[in-house]
Amino acid sequence: MTTTTTLESRLAAVRQRITDAETRAGRPAGSVRLIAVSKTHPAEAIAEAYRLGQRDFGENYLQEALDKQAALDEPGIVWHFIGPIQSNKTRPIAEHFDWVHSVDRLKVAERLDAQRPADKPPLNICLQVNVSGEASKSGVDFAELPALAQSISGLPHLRLRGLMTIPAPTVDPAAQHAAFRALRQAMEDLALDDLDTLSMGMSDDLEVAVAEGATLVRIGTAIFGARARPLG
Ligand SMILES: *Cc1c(COP(=O)(O)O)cnc(C)c1O
C-alpha cells in the first residue's frame, strides 16, 4: 500500500466517523467541520489531503506553518492556528491565518486585532478554555472567560466565533462527556450574539465531542498517522 492510499483511506475513515457521530447525535449531516491537523507533517501531505477535497488545515508551530504555506499554492485553503501563541509572534499569525483557536488572554487578542491586515476579513477567533483546571495547561479559566469574551467581542478586526478546548487526556467516557459539555454550557452562558463554534474533539474523542455539540473537530493522527515529535 502506498502512502497516498493510506492517507486516502484514513481521511475517508475519519469522514465516516464524523458522519456516524452526527447521525447518532441526531444532527444534520455536514454540521461538523473537519480540520486536518498537519503539524509535523510535510507540505506534500497537505497537498495530498487537498486533492482529496480537504480545505481546512490546523497548524501549531508558527515557523513550520509559514514554511508550508509558502510551499503550497493550492487556492482556497483555510488555515487555522491552534498552538500556543507568544505575544511577540502575533503579526505573522494575524497576516497568514484565517482562524486562531488558541487565544486565552486579552493582550494577544489586542495585538492580533491591531495587526490584522486591513484588506482581509476579520480574523476568526476561538477562546481556548482550560476545562480540566490543570495549572500547567494553557487556556482561560471558566471564571475569567466572560470578561475576556466581552472585551474581545468589541475588537473590530476580530470576529469572536466561540470556544476551543483540549481536555486532560482520559479514557473515562463520562469524564470526556463532562469536559465537552462544560465547554458547550460555558458558551451558552456567555449569551453573546454570533457565537457559533465549538472547537473540540481530536482523534481519540471526536465521537464524544460531536455528541456534545462540537462544530469543528481537529484531527491529526487519525488522518496523517503518528507524529515523530510529541504533541505540542
Ligand atoms: C495536535 C493537536 C490536535 C490533533 O490531535 P490528534 O490527537 O493527533 O488528532 C488537535 N488540537 C490541537 C490543539 C493539537 O495541538
Mean pLDDT of the chain: 95
CA of 220 to the centre of ligand 1 (A): 6
Residue 219 to residue 225: CA distance in whole angstroms: 10
User: pLDDT digits over 41-64, tens only?
Assistant: 999 999 999 999 999 999 999 999
Cell numbers 475588537 correspond to what residue?
Answer: 155
Q: Which of 101, 218, 221, 223 to mutate to test the pocket of ligand 1 (most atoms within 8 A of CB)?
A: 218
Domain extent listing, the chain:
4-224
Partner residues linked to 128 by β-bridges? 164
Residue 119 to residue 230: CA distance in whole angstroms: 37
Atom from ligand 1 closest to the CA of residue 232: 15
Atom from ligand 1 closest to the CA of residue 166: 13
Q: What is the pLDDT of residue 158?
A: 98
Non-local CB neighbours of 90 within 8 Å, separated by 6+ positions:
108, 111, 112, 115
Fold exhibited by the domain 4-224: TIM Barrel (3.20.20)
User: Which of 58, 211, 206 is closest to 126 using CA atoms?
Assistant: 58
Q: Whose CA is nearest to atom 13 of ligand 1?
A: 82
Q: What is the pLDDT of residue 1?
A: 54
Q: What is the pLDDT of residue 50?
A: 98
Q: Whose CA is nearest to atom 12 of ligand 1?
A: 82
Q: Identify the DSSP state of 155.
A: -
CA of 76 to the centre of ligand 1 (A): 22
Atom from ligand 1 closest to the CA of residue 60: 15
Q: Which of 61, 82, 128, 137 to mutate to test the pocket of ligand 1 (most atoms within 8 A of CB)?
A: 82
User: Which of 165, 164, 174 is closest to 197 using CA atoms?
Assistant: 164
Angle, vertex CA 137, rays to CA 133 and CA 143, nearest 5: 40
Per-residue pLDDT of the chain (232 residues; tens, 9 = 90+): 556 569 999 999 999 999 999 999 999 999 999 999 999 999 999 999 999 999 999 999 999 999 999 999 999 999 999 999 999 999 999 999 999 999 999 999 999 999 999 999 999 999 999 998 877 678 999 999 999 999 999 999 999 999 999 999 999 999 999 999 999 999 999 989 899 999 999 999 999 999 999 999 999 999 999 998 655 4
What's the pTM?
0.96
User: Which of 65, 1, 79, 100 is closest to 36 using CA atoms?
Assistant: 79
8 A C-beta contact, residue 40 and residue 63:
no
Pocket, ligand 1, Cβ cutoff 6 A: 37, 39, 60, 82, 166, 202-204, 218-222, 231
Atom from ligand 1 closest to the CA of residue 224: 8
